Structure 1
Amino acid sequence: MKAWIAALVVPLLTGVLAFGSAARADCALGPAGATQTRTMGQTLGQTGRTVQIHTPRGFDPQRPAPLVFLLHGSGGTGAEILASSRLAETADRHGFIVIAPDGGIPVERGFVWNVPGVPTIAGKIPGPNDADDVAFMTETIDALADQGCVDRSRVYATGLSGGGRMTSWLGCAAADRFAAIAPVVGLRAGRPDRRDPQRPDPATCRPSRPMPVMAFAGDADTTNPIQGGGAPYWSYTMHAAEQRWAQLNGCAAPRPTVWVTAQVYEEGYAACRDGADVVGRITAGGGHSWVADNDAMWAFFAARTRPQN
């Protein structure tokens, strides 16, 4: 385990870990049903990264719980997305831990995520000296799992806009660590192909295993429109992203389009390898905001675990 993660877990977990020890202490995340702010040191770029950690009501420190990473939009913070998404309330109902970190790259009043090859809202492509957000999250998983807080087979990610794109990238780059992903107004399947921007470049998303995907969007979103267009990284449509994930997951058939409420319809692909279905939930008239149904998201997550080697 890298040196910085040892510095992370002491203030994060308010306890001392015995790495490599046969004995495992109870998880020391803090009071059940509470949200805490922690500052975590790390050496892969910016230091002093802040995270919000919500421990659900009824949390048993002797039983590893599912974990959901909640990623803010570009220029935002973990505290803002935790409040606006209301995912902590969902966690209390269903018993999972939520971690909402700040992104690794400071910009304007908040932070952005390091999606390789994709410019941030400041117009800069992240470089080798910028924080490695994938490493940050995967090593955070290891720290919490080593403490006995988190079930490694039940780790998930969701995020809004730029956080949705980062969530998509986790599906591409860290499929061996996440059981499912749920981008919100941010589903991608790699960068647009330079020769044909209307489709994803297959070389830029190569997950190591099928990745279950549930994506949420609004059909009136003008920032990341489901019809494609907008910023260069958003050239292809949401449907093209769904189709590419279906190819990656070996899905056998399209799902019939079904209206699940008077304003929300569901589409996607089914009969996929290892249960890695691809589901799109689209809100008619929905804009660039948290249009996710949190309980539906959790139902999708809860039905899936990551195979253990």
Structure 2
Amino acid sequence: MMRILISAVLFALAPAAHAATCSIGPAGTTQRVAIGDTGRAMTVHLPTGFDPSRPAPLVMLLHGSGGTGATMLRDSKLAEAADRHGFVVAAPDAWIAHDQGFVWNIPGVPTVAGRIPGPGDPDDVAYLTAAIDWFVAQGCADRSRVYATGLSGGGRMTSWLGCVAAPRFAAIAPVVGLRAGNPRKDDPTRPDPKTCRPKAAMPVIAFAGDADRTNPIQGGGAGYWQYTMHAAEARWAQLNGCTAAPVTRWVTTGVYEELYSGCRSEADVSGRITVGGGHSWVADNDAMWAFFARHRR
């Protein structure tokens, strides 16, 4: 017993391990970074003023079907928002080749090529969570402030991360791609509750355009889409235990919000719709970050 007590005291008095200093750099740059032993790399932007001794919030930015992380970072202008607000952006590539880019592996959901990924396809959830662990281990990212956003197919993948890896993300922001699980096989106008069972409440802010013909907010479209954006919002509100009646309001000229509040762990669900907006990056990056910044894991 004495030996155990002495060991415990010595352990308590031992100095804490030195925190890693982020070696990606310098601040304000965008570069291609190899992620540990995954065999994959991604485009990473460190914000202006980034302090390598202080882990920063991390936003995972997922490209649309047929795209790449580098083009998504360029087109979303999220690096400029990162410089304003001080977060790291990581823009990975999916690993199923399509056209000049890649598509994400969402189990049971056909890609834009119409093929359902099989067991031999790369596990993108495993890769993205391994990447988070790597950024944290390198001292570059704060594990409690990791977020995900993405466009179209990347929005669907972002939604999938909310379903299957909720404890790893403090909030998600799908852009023209909000889902809440796969469409039901017997009634594709409704999400299948068996395919989205998050282990923690998930704050959601989603962006879309009411003139999107690829992923229409009114539902329909391709086999991976089908149910309405409103149905997806309502399902996330149900999953988050939201108790207040949904409220619709104008947040700025030409953009209205459907908001579900009174939710477990303050995990509100917001859908922001741009009138006349199409299938493009319609997100307000500053509003997205303001939502993200309110949440930690």
What secondary structure is seen at the aligned counterpart in 1 of 2:71?
helix
Q: CA RMSD in A?
A: 1.3
Say whether the 8 Å CA contact 2:20–2:137 is kept in structure 1. Answer: no
Q: Deviations for 1:9-68, whole angstroms, at most 9, x for unmatched residues?
A: xxxxxxxxxxxx93333111111010001344756xxx5x33110000111111110000
The answer as to 2:24 corresponding to 1:33 is no
> Considering only CA atoms, is the larger Rg found in Structure 1 or Structure 2?
2
Q: Indicate which of 239, 260, 263 corresponds to 1:269.
A: 260
Q: CA deviation at 1:146?
A: 1.4
Identical positions, percent: 71
Q: TM (normalized to structure 2)?
A: 0.92
Q: What displacement does 1:173 show?
A: 0.5
Equivalent in the alignment of 1:134: 125
How far apart are 1:165 and its partner, in Å? Answer: 0.1
Tell me the SS of whatever aligns to 2:167.
coil
Q: Are 2:138 and 1:143 equivalent residues in the alignment?
A: no
Which aligned runs of 4 or more in structure 1 are off by greater than 2 angstroms? 21-25, 38-43
The TM-score normalised by the length of structure 1 is 0.89
Residue 279, structure 1, aligned to residue 274, structure 2: no
Structure 1 residue 57 corresponds to structure 2 residue 34? no
Q: Is structure 2 residue 297 aligned with structure 1 residue 303? A: no
Structure 1 residues without counterparts, runs of 5 or longer: 1-20
Structure 2: 5+ residue stretches without partners: 1-15
Structure 1 residue 268, shift from structure 2 partner? 2.5
How many residue pairs get aligned? The number is: 282
Q: Deviations over 1:60-80 (max 9, x none)?
A: 111110000000000000011
Q: Does residue 194 of structure 2 align to residue 203 of structure 1? A: yes
- Cα distance in structure 1, aligned partners of 2:200 and 2:288: 21
What is the rounded CA distance, in whole Å, between the counterparts of 1:137 and 1:301 in structure 2? 18
* Partners of 1:85 and 1:129 in 2: CA distance: 31
C-alpha distance in 1 between matches for 2:207 and 2:110? 23
1:105 is matched with which residue?
96
3-state DSSP of counterpart to 2:155: helix
Letter in 2 for 1:29: I
Structure 1 residue 225 corresponds to structure 2 residue 220: no
Partner of 1:171: 162
SS at match of 2:257: strand
Give yes or no for contact 2:213–2:279 (8 Å, CA) kept in 1. Answer: yes
Q: Deviations over 1:96-142 (max 9, x none)?
A: 00000011211111000011101112221111111111111111111
1:82 match: 73
